[in-house]
Homo-oligomer: A and B are copies of this chain.
Amino acid sequence: MTENDFIAGISRRFPKQPPVLVGIGDDGAAVQVTGQRPVIVVTDMLLDGTHFHLSEIDPRLAGRKAMAVNLSDLAAMAARPTAAFVSLAVPVNRSRLPANFLDRLYDGFEELTRQYNFSLAGGDTNSWEGSFAVNVCLLGVPVSDTIPLRSGAQPGDLLYVSGPLGGSLHHQRHLLFSPRFDAAEWLVSHTKLTAMMDISDGLSMDLSRMMLASGTGALLEAAAIPIHEDVPGQLSPEARLTAALGDGEDFELLFTVPEDRATALAEAPLPLRFHCVGRVVEEPGLRIRTLSGDIATVAASGWQHQV
Q: Which residues of A contact B (CB under 8 A)?
A: 1, 3, 6-7, 10, 13-14, 16-17, 19-20, 22-24, 26, 28-29, 31, 33-37, 39, 41-45, 47-50, 82-83, 85, 87-90, 92, 102, 106, 109-110, 113, 117, 119-131, 133, 135, 137, 139, 141, 305-307
One of B13, B50, B124, B126 near A126 (C-beta < 8 A): B50
Q: 5 pairs across A/B with beta carbons < 8 Å?
A: A7-B125, A14-B119, A33-B82, A34-B36, A90-B305
Complex Cα spacing A43 to B87, Å: 7
Q: Which residue of B lies closest to A141 (CB)?
A: B33
Give the number of copies in the complex. 2
B residues within 8 A CB of A28?
122
One of B89, B90, B121 near A24 (C-beta < 8 A): B121
- Do A102 and B42 touch (CB < 8 A)? no
Q: Which residue of B lies closest to A7 (CB)?
A: B125
Complex Cα spacing A89 to B135, Å: 10
- Do A31 and B125 touch (CB < 8 A)? no
B residues within 8 A CB of A35?
33-36
- Do B126 and A31 touch (CB < 8 A)? no
Q: Which residue of B lies closest to A30 (CB)?
A: B121
From residue A271, how far is it (CB to closest CB) to chain B in Å? 28
Complex Cα spacing A194 to B29, Å: 34
Q: 16 new A-B pairs (CB below 8 Å) besides A17-B119, A31-B139, A41-B137?
A: A20-B83, A22-B121, A29-B85, A29-B121, A31-B82, A33-B82, A39-B39, A43-B124, A44-B87, A45-B135, A47-B89, A50-B126, A89-B133, A90-B307, A125-B307, A137-B137
B residues within 8 A CB of A7?
125
- Do A82 and B29 touch (CB < 8 A)? no
B residues within 8 A CB of A23?
119-122
- Do A41 and B88 touch (CB < 8 A)? no
